[in-house]
Structure 1
Protein backbone atom coordinates (compact mmCIF):
# COMPACT_ATOMS: atom_id res chain seq x y z
CA UNK A 1 0.00 0.00 0.00
CA UNK A 2 1.45 3.37 -1.01
CA UNK A 3 2.11 5.92 1.70
CA UNK A 4 0.09 9.15 1.65
CA UNK A 5 1.65 12.04 -0.21
CA UNK A 6 1.81 13.94 3.06
CA UNK A 7 4.55 11.56 4.20
CA UNK A 8 6.61 12.49 1.14
CA UNK A 9 6.15 16.20 1.83
CA UNK A 10 7.19 15.74 5.46
CA UNK A 11 10.25 13.71 4.44
CA UNK A 12 11.19 16.39 1.93
CA UNK A 13 10.89 18.94 4.74
CA UNK A 14 13.19 16.79 6.90
CA UNK A 15 15.68 16.69 4.03
CA UNK A 16 15.43 20.46 3.67
CA UNK A 17 16.36 20.89 7.34
CA UNK A 18 19.38 18.60 6.87
CA UNK A 19 20.50 20.43 3.73
CA UNK A 20 20.12 23.81 5.41
CA UNK A 21 22.25 22.64 8.34
CA UNK A 22 25.02 21.51 6.02
CA UNK A 23 25.35 25.03 4.62
CA UNK A 24 26.00 26.52 8.07
CA UNK A 25 29.47 26.07 9.60
CA UNK A 26 29.26 24.40 13.00
CA UNK A 27 25.90 22.70 12.46
CA UNK A 28 25.94 19.03 11.46
CA UNK A 29 23.41 17.63 9.03
CA UNK A 30 23.78 14.32 10.87
CA UNK A 31 22.61 16.02 14.07
CA UNK A 32 19.47 17.28 12.32
CA UNK A 33 18.90 13.80 10.87
CA UNK A 34 19.02 12.42 14.42
CA UNK A 35 16.56 15.02 15.68
CA UNK A 36 14.08 14.36 12.88
CA UNK A 37 14.31 10.59 13.34
CA UNK A 38 15.68 9.62 9.92
CA UNK A 39 19.37 9.19 10.73
CA UNK A 40 19.63 5.41 10.63
CA UNK A 41 17.23 5.22 7.68
CA UNK A 42 19.67 7.44 5.78
CA UNK A 43 22.67 5.35 6.80
CA UNK A 44 20.91 2.11 5.86
CA UNK A 45 19.83 3.47 2.47
CA UNK A 46 23.26 4.88 1.68
CA UNK A 47 24.82 1.56 2.64
CA UNK A 48 22.61 -0.40 0.23
CA UNK A 49 23.29 2.08 -2.58
CA UNK A 50 27.07 1.91 -2.16
CA UNK A 51 26.85 -1.91 -2.03
CA UNK A 52 24.83 -1.92 -5.24
CA UNK A 53 27.43 0.25 -6.99
CA UNK A 54 30.23 -2.02 -5.80
CA UNK A 55 28.40 -5.18 -6.88
CA UNK A 56 27.55 -3.73 -10.26
CA UNK A 57 31.17 -2.80 -10.94
CA UNK A 58 32.78 -5.99 -9.62
CA UNK A 59 30.42 -8.46 -11.30
CA UNK A 60 29.96 -6.60 -14.57
CA UNK A 61 32.49 -8.77 -16.50
CA UNK A 62 30.60 -11.90 -15.48
CA UNK A 63 27.23 -10.49 -16.47
CA UNK A 64 25.67 -10.69 -13.01
CA UNK A 65 26.39 -7.14 -11.85
CA UNK A 66 23.12 -5.53 -12.92
CA UNK A 67 20.95 -8.23 -11.36
CA UNK A 68 22.77 -8.18 -8.02
CA UNK A 69 22.75 -4.39 -7.95
CA UNK A 70 18.99 -4.28 -8.59
CA UNK A 71 18.41 -6.78 -5.80
CA UNK A 72 20.44 -4.64 -3.40
CA UNK A 73 18.65 -1.45 -4.44
CA UNK A 74 15.29 -3.05 -3.65
CA UNK A 75 16.32 -3.01 0.01
CA UNK A 76 16.36 0.81 0.01
CA UNK A 77 13.26 2.57 1.35
CA UNK A 78 12.94 4.91 -1.63
CA UNK A 79 9.68 6.39 -0.33
CA UNK A 80 11.75 7.98 2.44
CA UNK A 81 15.11 8.45 0.76
CA UNK A 82 14.05 10.17 -2.47
CA UNK A 83 12.02 12.97 -0.82
CA UNK A 84 14.84 13.42 1.71
CA UNK A 85 17.48 13.80 -1.00
CA UNK A 86 15.28 16.14 -3.05
CA UNK A 87 14.66 18.35 -0.03
CA UNK A 88 18.36 18.34 0.87
CA UNK A 89 19.47 19.34 -2.63
CA UNK A 90 17.01 22.23 -2.97
CA UNK A 91 17.63 23.53 0.55
CA UNK A 92 21.41 23.32 0.21
CA UNK A 93 21.36 25.55 -2.89
CA UNK A 94 18.97 28.04 -1.30
CA UNK A 95 20.82 28.07 2.03
CA UNK A 96 24.14 28.72 0.30
CA UNK A 97 22.54 31.76 -1.31
CA UNK A 98 20.45 33.09 1.57
CA UNK A 99 21.30 31.67 5.00
CA UNK A 100 25.11 31.41 4.86
CA UNK A 101 25.52 35.18 4.20
CA UNK A 102 23.07 35.88 7.04
CA UNK A 103 25.18 33.83 9.44
CA UNK A 104 28.29 35.74 8.34
CA UNK A 105 26.56 39.08 8.97
CA UNK A 106 25.07 38.13 12.36
CA UNK A 107 27.31 35.35 13.71
CA UNK A 108 26.59 35.93 17.41
CA UNK A 109 22.82 35.64 17.04
CA UNK A 110 22.99 32.75 14.58
CA UNK A 111 25.42 30.73 16.66
CA UNK A 112 23.37 31.32 19.82
CA UNK A 113 20.33 29.79 18.10
CA UNK A 114 22.33 26.81 16.82
CA UNK A 115 24.10 26.35 20.19
CA UNK A 116 20.75 25.86 21.88
CA UNK A 117 19.62 23.54 19.12
CA UNK A 118 22.67 21.25 19.33
CA UNK A 119 22.80 21.31 23.14
CA UNK A 120 19.21 20.10 23.42
CA UNK A 121 19.94 17.53 20.71
CA UNK A 122 22.42 15.73 22.96
CA UNK A 123 19.44 13.94 24.47
CA UNK A 124 18.85 12.08 21.18
CA UNK A 125 22.02 9.94 21.01
CA UNK A 126 22.24 9.82 24.82
CA UNK A 127 18.86 8.12 25.10
CA UNK A 128 18.87 6.45 21.68
CA UNK A 129 20.62 3.18 22.56
CA UNK A 130 18.09 2.05 25.15
CA UNK A 131 20.91 0.96 27.49
CA UNK A 132 22.10 2.40 30.78
CA UNK A 133 25.39 4.28 30.51
CA UNK A 134 28.30 2.94 32.55
CA UNK A 135 31.19 4.88 34.07
CA UNK A 136 33.33 3.72 31.14
CA UNK A 137 30.75 5.08 28.69
CA UNK A 138 30.88 8.50 30.33
CA UNK A 139 34.69 8.44 30.31
CA UNK A 140 34.77 7.57 26.60
CA UNK A 141 32.23 10.31 25.87
CA UNK A 142 34.40 12.88 27.67
CA UNK A 143 37.55 11.81 25.77
CA UNK A 144 35.74 12.06 22.42
CA UNK A 145 34.26 15.42 23.42
CA UNK A 146 37.74 16.76 24.25
CA UNK A 147 38.97 15.61 20.83
CA UNK A 148 36.06 17.33 19.07
CA UNK A 149 36.60 20.43 21.22
CA UNK A 150 40.24 20.57 20.08
CA UNK A 151 39.37 19.98 16.42
CA UNK A 152 36.76 22.74 16.35
CA UNK A 153 39.26 25.15 17.89
CA UNK A 154 41.70 24.94 14.98
CA UNK A 155 42.12 28.32 13.23
CA UNK A 156 40.90 28.66 9.63
CA UNK A 157 43.45 27.62 7.00
CA UNK A 158 43.96 28.04 3.29
CA UNK A 159 44.27 25.34 0.65
CA UNK A 160 44.56 25.53 -3.15
CA UNK A 161 41.47 24.82 -5.22
CA UNK A 162 43.20 22.14 -7.29
CA UNK A 163 40.73 19.41 -8.34
CA UNK A 164 42.60 16.75 -6.36
CA UNK A 165 42.52 18.90 -3.23
CA UNK A 166 38.83 19.72 -3.77
CA UNK A 167 38.00 16.02 -4.20
CA UNK A 168 39.89 15.16 -1.00
CA UNK A 169 38.05 17.92 0.86
CA UNK A 170 34.73 16.57 -0.43
CA UNK A 171 35.54 13.06 0.77
CA UNK A 172 36.24 14.42 4.25
CA UNK A 173 33.30 16.81 4.39
CA UNK A 174 30.77 14.17 3.32
CA UNK A 175 31.74 12.05 6.31
CA UNK A 176 30.53 14.87 8.53
CA UNK A 177 27.14 14.74 6.80
CA UNK A 178 26.54 11.25 8.21
CA UNK A 179 28.40 11.77 11.50
CA UNK A 180 26.43 13.80 14.08
CA UNK A 181 28.41 16.47 15.88
CA UNK A 182 30.87 17.29 13.11
CA UNK A 183 29.88 19.90 10.56
CA UNK A 184 30.96 19.41 6.95
CA UNK A 185 30.83 23.15 6.38
CA UNK A 186 33.00 23.69 9.46
CA UNK A 187 35.61 21.24 8.17
CA UNK A 188 35.63 23.07 4.84
CA UNK A 189 36.06 26.33 6.73
CA UNK A 190 39.02 24.84 8.62
CA UNK A 191 40.61 23.79 5.32
CA UNK A 192 39.94 27.21 3.80
CA UNK A 193 37.55 25.82 1.17
CA UNK A 194 34.19 26.86 2.57
CA UNK A 195 33.93 30.15 0.70
CA UNK A 196 35.23 28.69 -2.62
CA UNK A 197 32.67 25.87 -2.32
CA UNK A 198 29.76 28.24 -1.57
CA UNK A 199 30.90 30.44 -4.45
CA UNK A 200 31.06 27.41 -6.77
CA UNK A 201 27.46 26.53 -5.85
CA UNK A 202 26.25 30.09 -6.41
CA UNK A 203 28.22 30.57 -9.65
CA UNK A 204 27.48 27.06 -11.01
CA UNK A 205 31.18 26.22 -11.34
CA UNK A 206 30.59 22.69 -12.61
CA UNK A 207 34.30 21.81 -12.80
CA UNK A 208 34.80 22.53 -9.11
CA UNK A 209 31.48 20.89 -8.20
CA UNK A 210 32.30 17.75 -10.22
CA UNK A 211 35.61 17.28 -8.38
CA UNK A 212 33.88 17.90 -5.05
CA UNK A 213 31.06 15.46 -5.90
CA UNK A 214 33.56 12.76 -6.91
CA UNK A 215 35.27 13.10 -3.55
CA UNK A 216 31.90 12.92 -1.80
CA UNK A 217 31.01 9.68 -3.56
CA UNK A 218 34.31 8.04 -2.64
CA UNK A 219 34.18 9.24 0.96
CA UNK A 220 30.57 8.17 1.34
CA UNK A 221 31.24 4.71 -0.09
CA UNK A 222 34.09 4.11 2.35
CA UNK A 223 32.62 5.68 5.48
CA UNK A 224 28.95 4.70 5.32
CA UNK A 225 29.67 0.97 5.22
CA UNK A 226 31.83 1.29 8.32
CA UNK A 227 29.24 3.39 10.15
CA UNK A 228 26.43 1.04 9.17
CA UNK A 229 28.41 -1.91 10.52
CA UNK A 230 29.13 -0.08 13.77
CA UNK A 231 25.46 0.81 14.26
CA UNK A 232 24.46 -2.79 13.59
CA UNK A 233 27.05 -4.43 15.84
CA UNK A 234 27.99 -1.78 18.42
CA UNK A 235 24.93 0.44 18.50
CA UNK A 236 25.24 1.63 22.08
CA UNK A 237 28.96 2.43 21.92
CA UNK A 238 28.51 4.20 18.59
CA UNK A 239 25.89 6.48 20.11
CA UNK A 240 28.15 7.12 23.09
CA UNK A 241 30.83 8.36 20.67
CA UNK A 242 28.26 10.42 18.77
CA UNK A 243 27.18 12.08 22.01
CA UNK A 244 30.78 13.04 22.73
CA UNK A 245 31.26 14.42 19.22
CA UNK A 246 28.15 16.56 19.49
CA UNK A 247 29.11 17.83 22.95
CA UNK A 248 32.65 18.76 21.92
CA UNK A 249 31.47 20.42 18.72
CA UNK A 250 29.51 22.97 20.76
CA UNK A 251 32.76 24.91 20.94
CA UNK A 252 32.36 25.89 17.29
CA UNK A 253 28.95 27.40 18.09
CA UNK A 254 29.91 29.46 21.14
CA UNK A 255 28.45 32.88 20.26
CA UNK A 256 31.44 34.86 21.55
CA UNK A 257 34.73 34.08 19.76
CA UNK A 258 37.38 35.96 17.81
CA UNK A 259 38.48 35.52 14.20
CA UNK A 260 40.94 32.77 15.20
CA UNK A 261 38.21 30.87 17.11
CA UNK A 262 39.43 31.91 20.52
CA UNK A 263 36.63 31.80 23.11
CA UNK A 264 35.58 35.13 24.64
CA UNK A 265 33.45 36.13 27.62
CA UNK A 266 29.82 37.12 26.95
CA UNK A 267 29.40 40.70 25.80
CA UNK A 268 27.08 42.81 23.64
CA UNK A 269 23.37 41.92 23.34
CA UNK A 270 23.68 39.20 25.98
CA UNK A 271 19.93 39.21 26.58
CA UNK A 272 19.05 38.65 22.92
CA UNK A 273 21.76 36.01 22.59
CA UNK A 274 20.44 34.07 25.57
CA UNK A 275 16.87 34.35 24.26
CA UNK A 276 17.94 32.86 20.92
CA UNK A 277 19.78 30.11 22.75
CA UNK A 278 16.58 29.23 24.64
CA UNK A 279 14.59 29.40 21.39
CA UNK A 280 16.93 26.93 19.68
CA UNK A 281 16.65 24.49 22.57
CA UNK A 282 12.86 24.91 22.70
CA UNK A 283 12.52 24.09 18.99
CA UNK A 284 14.37 20.79 19.44
CA UNK A 285 12.41 19.89 22.58
CA UNK A 286 9.14 20.58 20.73
CA UNK A 287 10.22 18.37 17.80
CA UNK A 288 11.19 15.54 20.15
CA UNK A 289 7.90 15.78 22.06
CA UNK A 290 5.85 15.72 18.85
CA UNK A 291 7.82 12.77 17.48
CA UNK A 292 7.52 10.88 20.77
CA UNK A 293 3.74 11.32 20.79
CA UNK A 294 3.48 10.30 17.14
CA UNK A 295 5.50 7.15 17.81
CA UNK A 296 3.29 6.37 20.79
CA UNK A 297 0.16 6.52 18.62
CA UNK A 298 1.69 4.29 15.93
CA UNK A 299 3.10 1.71 18.34
CA UNK A 300 1.14 -1.45 19.04
CA UNK A 301 1.40 -2.39 22.74
CA UNK A 302 2.95 -5.79 23.28
CA UNK A 303 4.10 -7.17 26.59
CA UNK A 304 6.57 -9.47 24.81
CA UNK A 305 8.15 -6.72 22.72
CA UNK A 306 11.74 -6.00 23.82
CA UNK A 307 12.62 -2.46 24.88
CA UNK A 308 14.81 -0.66 22.40
CA UNK A 309 16.25 2.76 21.90
CA UNK A 310 14.51 5.68 20.30
CA UNK A 311 16.18 4.91 16.98
CA UNK A 312 15.94 1.38 15.57
CA UNK A 313 19.10 -0.46 14.70
CA UNK A 314 20.25 -0.75 11.14
CA UNK A 315 18.82 -4.12 10.07
CA UNK A 316 22.01 -6.08 9.55
CA UNK A 317 24.78 -7.61 11.60
CA UNK A 318 24.62 -9.54 14.81
CA UNK A 319 24.01 -6.72 17.26
CA UNK A 320 26.80 -7.71 19.63
CA UNK A 321 26.78 -4.34 21.39
Structure 2
Protein backbone atom coordinates (compact mmCIF):
# COMPACT_ATOMS: atom_id res chain seq x y z
CA UNK A 1 0.00 0.00 0.00
CA UNK A 2 2.91 2.36 0.73
CA UNK A 3 4.17 1.80 -2.83
CA UNK A 4 0.79 2.78 -4.25
CA UNK A 5 0.95 5.88 -2.06
CA UNK A 6 4.38 6.72 -3.46
CA UNK A 7 2.99 6.52 -7.00
CA UNK A 8 0.11 8.80 -6.02
CA UNK A 9 2.53 11.24 -4.36
CA UNK A 10 4.71 11.36 -7.47
CA UNK A 11 1.63 12.17 -9.55
CA UNK A 12 0.45 14.83 -7.11
CA UNK A 13 3.72 16.77 -7.43
CA UNK A 14 3.25 17.14 -11.20
CA UNK A 15 0.50 19.42 -12.62
CA UNK A 16 -1.56 17.48 -15.14
CA UNK A 17 -1.15 14.02 -13.61
CA UNK A 18 -3.87 13.14 -11.13
CA UNK A 19 -3.31 11.20 -7.94
CA UNK A 20 -6.90 10.04 -8.34
CA UNK A 21 -6.00 8.48 -11.68
CA UNK A 22 -3.13 6.57 -10.07
CA UNK A 23 -5.51 5.37 -7.35
CA UNK A 24 -7.86 4.17 -10.07
CA UNK A 25 -5.07 2.39 -11.97
CA UNK A 26 -3.89 0.59 -8.84
CA UNK A 27 -7.43 -0.51 -7.96
CA UNK A 28 -7.87 1.43 -4.71
CA UNK A 29 -9.99 4.39 -5.86
CA UNK A 30 -13.34 3.19 -4.47
CA UNK A 31 -11.69 2.07 -1.22
CA UNK A 32 -9.98 5.46 -0.94
CA UNK A 33 -13.25 7.38 -1.35
CA UNK A 34 -14.94 5.17 1.24
CA UNK A 35 -12.01 5.63 3.65
CA UNK A 36 -12.10 9.42 3.26
CA UNK A 37 -15.89 9.41 3.67
CA UNK A 38 -15.49 7.69 7.05
CA UNK A 39 -14.38 11.06 8.46
CA UNK A 40 -18.02 12.13 8.72
CA UNK A 41 -20.03 14.15 11.23
CA UNK A 42 -20.39 11.11 13.48
CA UNK A 43 -16.59 10.74 13.64
CA UNK A 44 -16.15 14.40 14.62
CA UNK A 45 -18.90 14.01 17.23
CA UNK A 46 -17.08 11.03 18.72
CA UNK A 47 -13.82 13.00 18.87
CA UNK A 48 -15.34 16.11 20.46
CA UNK A 49 -17.22 14.05 23.06
CA UNK A 50 -14.05 12.24 24.11
CA UNK A 51 -14.99 8.82 22.70
CA UNK A 52 -11.58 8.42 21.12
CA UNK A 53 -11.57 4.63 20.97
CA UNK A 54 -14.78 4.53 18.94
CA UNK A 55 -13.48 7.31 16.69
CA UNK A 56 -10.25 5.38 16.14
CA UNK A 57 -12.07 2.13 15.32
CA UNK A 58 -14.29 3.90 12.77
CA UNK A 59 -11.37 4.78 10.45
CA UNK A 60 -9.55 2.15 8.30
CA UNK A 61 -6.09 3.20 9.51
CA UNK A 62 -4.50 0.03 8.15
CA UNK A 63 -5.33 1.32 4.68
CA UNK A 64 -4.86 5.07 5.14
CA UNK A 65 -1.63 5.28 7.15
CA UNK A 66 0.65 3.31 4.75
CA UNK A 67 -0.93 5.16 1.82
CA UNK A 68 -0.40 8.58 3.43
CA UNK A 69 3.18 7.65 4.37
CA UNK A 70 3.95 6.68 0.77
CA UNK A 71 2.39 9.89 -0.58
CA UNK A 72 4.35 12.07 1.86
CA UNK A 73 7.63 10.25 1.18
CA UNK A 74 7.25 10.69 -2.56
CA UNK A 75 6.28 14.37 -2.34
CA UNK A 76 9.19 15.26 -0.05
CA UNK A 77 11.60 13.32 -2.27
CA UNK A 78 10.54 14.97 -5.53
CA UNK A 79 9.88 18.53 -4.35
CA UNK A 80 13.54 19.56 -4.44
CA UNK A 81 14.03 18.39 -8.05
CA UNK A 82 10.87 20.05 -9.35
CA UNK A 83 11.72 23.26 -7.49
CA UNK A 84 15.18 23.27 -9.09
CA UNK A 85 13.66 22.91 -12.56
CA UNK A 86 11.17 25.71 -11.89
CA UNK A 87 13.99 28.05 -10.91
CA UNK A 88 16.52 27.06 -13.58
CA UNK A 89 14.58 25.61 -16.54
CA UNK A 90 11.07 27.10 -16.31
CA UNK A 91 10.18 27.04 -20.02
CA UNK A 92 11.20 23.39 -20.38
CA UNK A 93 9.20 22.40 -17.29
CA UNK A 94 6.10 24.38 -18.30
CA UNK A 95 6.28 22.88 -21.79
CA UNK A 96 6.17 19.41 -20.24
CA UNK A 97 3.31 20.47 -17.94
CA UNK A 98 1.40 21.93 -20.91
CA UNK A 99 1.49 18.54 -22.63
CA UNK A 100 0.34 16.84 -19.43
CA UNK A 101 -2.68 19.11 -18.95
CA UNK A 102 -3.67 19.03 -22.64
CA UNK A 103 -3.60 15.22 -22.62
CA UNK A 104 -5.57 15.08 -19.36
CA UNK A 105 -8.28 17.18 -21.00
CA UNK A 106 -8.32 14.83 -23.98
CA UNK A 107 -8.49 11.71 -21.78
CA UNK A 108 -11.37 12.96 -19.64
CA UNK A 109 -13.32 14.19 -22.69
CA UNK A 110 -12.80 10.93 -24.59
CA UNK A 111 -14.42 9.01 -21.74
CA UNK A 112 -17.65 11.03 -21.91
CA UNK A 113 -20.46 9.66 -24.07
CA UNK A 114 -22.59 10.76 -25.78
CA UNK A 115 -20.85 13.99 -26.77
CA UNK A 116 -23.89 15.91 -27.95
CA UNK A 117 -25.02 19.53 -27.66
CA UNK A 118 -25.33 19.34 -23.88
CA UNK A 119 -21.71 18.16 -23.54
CA UNK A 120 -20.35 20.91 -25.79
CA UNK A 121 -22.47 23.54 -24.03
CA UNK A 122 -21.17 22.64 -20.57
CA UNK A 123 -17.61 22.30 -21.91
CA UNK A 124 -17.83 25.77 -23.47
CA UNK A 125 -19.09 27.28 -20.22
CA UNK A 126 -16.21 25.67 -18.32
CA UNK A 127 -13.60 26.70 -20.90
CA UNK A 128 -14.70 30.34 -21.23
CA UNK A 129 -15.19 30.73 -17.49
CA UNK A 130 -11.80 29.20 -16.74
CA UNK A 131 -10.00 31.26 -19.38
CA UNK A 132 -11.44 34.49 -17.98
CA UNK A 133 -10.87 33.44 -14.36
CA UNK A 134 -7.22 32.58 -14.99
CA UNK A 135 -6.74 36.06 -16.40
CA UNK A 136 -8.20 37.59 -13.24
CA UNK A 137 -6.06 35.59 -10.79
CA UNK A 138 -2.97 37.69 -10.03
CA UNK A 139 0.51 36.30 -10.67
CA UNK A 140 1.24 36.83 -6.98
CA UNK A 141 -1.49 35.67 -4.58
CA UNK A 142 -1.56 36.15 -0.78
CA UNK A 143 0.87 34.19 1.38
CA UNK A 144 -1.36 34.53 4.45
CA UNK A 145 -2.54 31.51 6.44
CA UNK A 146 -6.16 31.74 5.20
CA UNK A 147 -5.17 31.58 1.53
CA UNK A 148 -2.77 28.70 2.23
CA UNK A 149 -5.64 26.89 3.98
CA UNK A 150 -8.00 27.61 1.08
CA UNK A 151 -5.42 26.45 -1.49
CA UNK A 152 -4.97 23.16 0.34
CA UNK A 153 -8.71 22.62 0.53
CA UNK A 154 -9.36 23.27 -3.17
CA UNK A 155 -6.29 21.33 -4.37
CA UNK A 156 -7.14 18.26 -2.27
CA UNK A 157 -10.71 18.28 -3.54
CA UNK A 158 -9.44 18.26 -7.13
CA UNK A 159 -6.86 15.59 -6.33
CA UNK A 160 -9.43 12.85 -5.71
CA UNK A 161 -11.01 13.33 -9.14
CA UNK A 162 -9.46 11.07 -11.81
CA UNK A 163 -8.00 13.31 -14.49
CA UNK A 164 -7.90 16.49 -12.38
CA UNK A 165 -4.56 17.42 -10.82
CA UNK A 166 -4.35 19.06 -7.40
CA UNK A 167 -0.98 20.54 -8.32
CA UNK A 168 -2.57 22.14 -11.37
CA UNK A 169 -5.06 23.89 -9.10
CA UNK A 170 -2.10 25.25 -7.12
CA UNK A 171 -0.61 26.53 -10.38
CA UNK A 172 -3.86 28.38 -11.14
CA UNK A 173 -3.85 29.88 -7.64
CA UNK A 174 -0.18 30.91 -8.07
CA UNK A 175 0.71 28.79 -5.03
CA UNK A 176 2.51 25.88 -6.69
CA UNK A 177 6.05 27.24 -6.34
CA UNK A 178 5.40 28.44 -2.79
CA UNK A 179 4.09 25.09 -1.56
CA UNK A 180 6.98 23.27 -3.26
CA UNK A 181 9.44 25.56 -1.48
CA UNK A 182 7.64 24.92 1.83
CA UNK A 183 7.99 21.16 1.32
CA UNK A 184 11.65 21.51 0.33
CA UNK A 185 12.55 23.70 3.32
CA UNK A 186 10.13 22.06 5.80
CA UNK A 187 8.33 25.33 6.45
CA UNK A 188 5.98 23.98 9.12
CA UNK A 189 3.84 27.13 9.32
CA UNK A 190 2.89 26.85 5.65
CA UNK A 191 2.65 23.04 5.65
CA UNK A 192 0.40 22.79 8.71
CA UNK A 193 -2.13 25.28 7.30
CA UNK A 194 -1.98 23.64 3.88
CA UNK A 195 -2.47 20.10 5.26
CA UNK A 196 -5.31 21.28 7.51
CA UNK A 197 -7.04 22.80 4.49
CA UNK A 198 -6.43 19.65 2.44
CA UNK A 199 -7.94 17.48 5.17
CA UNK A 200 -11.03 19.67 5.43
CA UNK A 201 -11.39 19.72 1.63
CA UNK A 202 -11.19 15.94 1.37
CA UNK A 203 -13.61 15.33 4.24
CA UNK A 204 -16.11 18.00 3.17
CA UNK A 205 -16.28 17.30 -0.54
CA UNK A 206 -15.66 13.57 -0.99
CA UNK A 207 -19.33 12.68 -0.39
CA UNK A 208 -20.54 15.65 -2.44
CA UNK A 209 -18.29 14.69 -5.36
CA UNK A 210 -19.54 11.10 -5.24
CA UNK A 211 -23.12 12.39 -5.34
CA UNK A 212 -22.39 14.90 -8.11
CA UNK A 213 -20.65 12.33 -10.30
CA UNK A 214 -23.42 9.77 -9.77
CA UNK A 215 -26.27 12.21 -10.52
CA UNK A 216 -24.74 14.63 -13.05
CA UNK A 217 -21.73 12.79 -14.40
CA UNK A 218 -21.80 14.13 -17.97
CA UNK A 219 -22.38 17.74 -16.97
CA UNK A 220 -19.75 17.66 -14.21
CA UNK A 221 -17.05 16.08 -16.35
CA UNK A 222 -17.85 18.35 -19.31
CA UNK A 223 -17.39 21.45 -17.13
CA UNK A 224 -14.14 19.99 -15.73
CA UNK A 225 -12.87 19.36 -19.27
CA UNK A 226 -13.67 22.92 -20.21
CA UNK A 227 -12.02 24.13 -17.03
CA UNK A 228 -8.75 22.37 -17.92
CA UNK A 229 -8.93 23.51 -21.53
CA UNK A 230 -9.38 27.17 -20.61
CA UNK A 231 -6.71 26.90 -17.93
CA UNK A 232 -4.04 26.02 -20.49
CA UNK A 233 -3.62 29.79 -20.69
CA UNK A 234 -1.87 29.59 -17.30
CA UNK A 235 0.70 26.91 -18.23
CA UNK A 236 1.70 28.24 -21.67
CA UNK A 237 5.53 28.31 -21.47
CA UNK A 238 6.05 31.56 -23.39
CA UNK A 239 5.17 34.55 -21.24
CA UNK A 240 6.06 38.21 -21.66
CA UNK A 241 6.33 40.16 -18.41
CA UNK A 242 4.20 43.30 -18.56
CA UNK A 243 4.48 44.44 -14.96
CA UNK A 244 6.76 43.59 -12.04
CA UNK A 245 7.72 45.04 -8.67
CA UNK A 246 10.68 44.91 -6.30
CA UNK A 247 9.93 43.47 -2.86
CA UNK A 248 13.02 43.54 -0.64
CA UNK A 249 15.66 41.68 -2.66
CA UNK A 250 13.21 39.82 -4.90
CA UNK A 251 11.52 40.79 -8.16
CA UNK A 252 7.86 39.68 -8.19
CA UNK A 253 6.02 39.33 -11.50
CA UNK A 254 2.60 40.99 -11.31
CA UNK A 255 1.26 40.69 -14.86
CA UNK A 256 2.17 38.71 -17.98
CA UNK A 257 0.73 37.86 -21.37
CA UNK A 258 1.11 34.80 -23.58
CA UNK A 259 3.24 35.20 -26.70
CA UNK A 260 4.23 33.00 -29.64
CA UNK A 261 7.85 31.76 -29.85
CA UNK A 262 8.57 33.34 -33.22
CA UNK A 263 12.34 33.58 -32.73
CA UNK A 264 13.02 30.60 -30.46
CA UNK A 265 15.06 28.44 -32.83
CA UNK A 266 16.18 25.05 -31.55
CA UNK A 267 14.74 25.71 -28.08
CA UNK A 268 11.24 25.72 -29.54
CA UNK A 269 11.85 22.24 -30.96
CA UNK A 270 12.93 21.03 -27.50
CA UNK A 271 9.87 22.57 -25.90
CA UNK A 272 7.65 20.93 -28.52
CA UNK A 273 9.22 17.54 -27.82
CA UNK A 274 8.66 18.01 -24.09
CA UNK A 275 4.99 18.82 -24.75
CA UNK A 276 4.68 15.62 -26.78
CA UNK A 277 6.44 13.65 -24.03
CA UNK A 278 4.01 14.98 -21.42
CA UNK A 279 1.05 14.23 -23.67
CA UNK A 280 2.21 10.64 -24.29
CA UNK A 281 2.88 10.07 -20.58
CA UNK A 282 -0.73 10.86 -19.69
CA UNK A 283 -2.02 8.71 -22.56
CA UNK A 284 0.09 5.83 -21.26
CA UNK A 285 -1.27 6.26 -17.74
CA UNK A 286 -4.80 6.39 -19.15
CA UNK A 287 -4.22 3.16 -21.07
CA UNK A 288 -3.10 1.48 -17.84
CA UNK A 289 -6.23 2.80 -16.11
CA UNK A 290 -8.50 1.31 -18.79
CA UNK A 291 -6.69 -2.01 -18.54
CA UNK A 292 -7.09 -2.00 -14.75
CA UNK A 293 -10.80 -1.23 -15.11
CA UNK A 294 -11.31 -4.13 -17.53
CA UNK A 295 -9.55 -6.51 -15.13
CA UNK A 296 -11.75 -5.29 -12.29
CA UNK A 297 -14.90 -5.82 -14.37
CA UNK A 298 -13.78 -9.36 -15.24
CA UNK A 299 -13.20 -10.12 -11.55
CA UNK A 300 -16.69 -8.88 -10.62
CA UNK A 301 -18.25 -10.88 -13.47
Give your verdict on TM over 0.5.
yes
Selected match of 1:16 from 3, 9, 18: 9
**Structure 1 residue 296 displacement after superposition:** 4.4
1:295 and 1:59 mapped to 2: Cα distance?
37
Q: Which residue of 2 aligns with 1:265?
A: 260
Q: Which residue of 1 aligns with 2:247?
A: none
Q: Which residue of 2 aligns with 1:168?
A: 150
1:151 aligns with 2:133: yes
Select between 168-177 and 59-68 the one with higher mean Cα deviation.
59-68
Q: Which residue of 1 aligns with 2:77?
A: 94
Whether contact under 8 Å (1:20, 1:88) holds in the other structure is no
Deviations 1:141-180 (A, max 9, x none): 011011122233333124253x344333433343343351
RMSD of aligned Cα (Å): 3.4
Q: Which residue of 2 aligns with 1:214?
A: 196
Select between 262-271 and 213-222 the one with higher mean Cα deviation.
213-222
Whether contact under 8 Å (1:166, 1:208) holds in the other structure is yes
Q: Is there any run of 5+ residues in structure 2 with no aligned partner, and where?
A: 242-254
Structure 1 residues 240 and 157 mapped into 2: Cα distance closer, same or farther (>3 Å)?
same
Give the TM-score, by structure 1 length: 0.72
Q: Is there any run of 5+ residues in structure 1 with no aligned partner, and where?
A: 1-7, 22-26, 306-321
Q: Which residue of 1 aligns with 2:124?
A: 142
**Structure 1 residue 198 displacement after superposition:** 3.3
**Structure 1 residue 89 displacement after superposition:** 1.2
Matches within 5 A, 1:282-293: 282-293=280-291
Whether contact under 8 Å (1:256, 1:266) holds in the other structure is yes
Give the TM-score, by structure 2 length: 0.76
Q: Which residue of 1 aligns with 2:95?
A: 112
Whether contact under 8 Å (2:21, 2:289) holds in the other structure is no
Q: Which residue of 1 aligns with 2:209?
A: 227
Structure 1 residues 126 and 199 mapped into 2: Cα distance closer, same or farther (>3 Å)?
closer
Q: How many residues align?
A: 281
1:141 and 1:77 mapped to 2: Cα distance?
40
Structure 1 residues 36 and 122 mapped into 2: Cα distance closer, same or farther (>3 Å)?
farther
**Structure 1 residue 240 displacement after superposition:** 1.6
